[in-house]
């Protein structure tokens, strides 16, 4: 095997064979807040399944990360074409029915737009409803055109 082919093979097996979603971008201006809302078992199942965009036409990806030692699952919502996280929320499954979303971390800057806490929570619910068809029964309905036009 030539030296070039051997080094290419090494890079390929150590870099390209990693799980695709293992590399995560760091938010530049993040904030974290408690959330404490209940979600159904159906929504929990959808969040744990996530969504990987099949092509560039899909704007969002939703990627669950494995549970930590406390049983908390972290759900990452990122842009499909950059894989940059815009939101990460912590979900703690209940022993009984459903789960609790216990906290949210969000990128406060989206270009020239600043996201506040309430806006970030509305956007997470909106994206999960659009992409995964989650219900989020405890959260009110928000019109996505109104939500996304109010920041411009």
Extended beta strands in 24-135, E state: 30-39, 60-65, 73-79, 85-93, 99-107, 109-110, 113-114
What's the whole-number mean pLDDT along residues 78-99? 91
Cβ 75 vs Cβ 125: under 8 Å? no
Matching residue, tokens 């969000």: 106
pLDDT at 128 over 90: yes
pLDDT higher at 102 or 113: 102
Task: Give the range among 12-21, 36-45, 70-79 with minimum mean pLDDT.
Answer: 12-21
Q: Note if the pTM is more than 0.85.
A: no
Give all strands (DSSP E) within the chain, no chain letters.
Answer: 30-39, 60-65, 73-79, 85-93, 99-107, 109-110, 113-114
Domains of the chain and CATH, by start? 25-149 (3.30.310)
Q: With pLDDT > 70 as the criterion, what percentage of the chain qualifies?
A: 75
């Amino acid at each position: 095997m030539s030296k070039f082919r051997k080094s290419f093979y090494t890079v390929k097996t150590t870099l390209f064979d990693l799980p695709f979603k293992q590399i995560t971008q760091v938010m530049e201006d993040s904030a974290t807040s408690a959330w404490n809302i209940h979600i159904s078992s159906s929504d929990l199942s959808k969040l744990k399944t996530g969504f990987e965009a099949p092509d560039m036409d899909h704007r969002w990806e939703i990627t669950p990360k494995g549970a930590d030692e406390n049983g908390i699952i972290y759900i990452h919502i990122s842009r499909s074409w950059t894989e940059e996280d815009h939101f990460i929320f912590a979900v703690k499954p209940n022993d009984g029915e459903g789960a609790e979303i216990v906290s949210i971390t969000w990128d406060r800057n989206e270009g020239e737009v600043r996201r506040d806490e309430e806006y970030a929570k509305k956007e997470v619910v909106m994206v999960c409803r659009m992409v995964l068809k989650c219900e989020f029964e405890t959260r009110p309905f928000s019109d996505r055109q109104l939500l996304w036009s109010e920041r411009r």
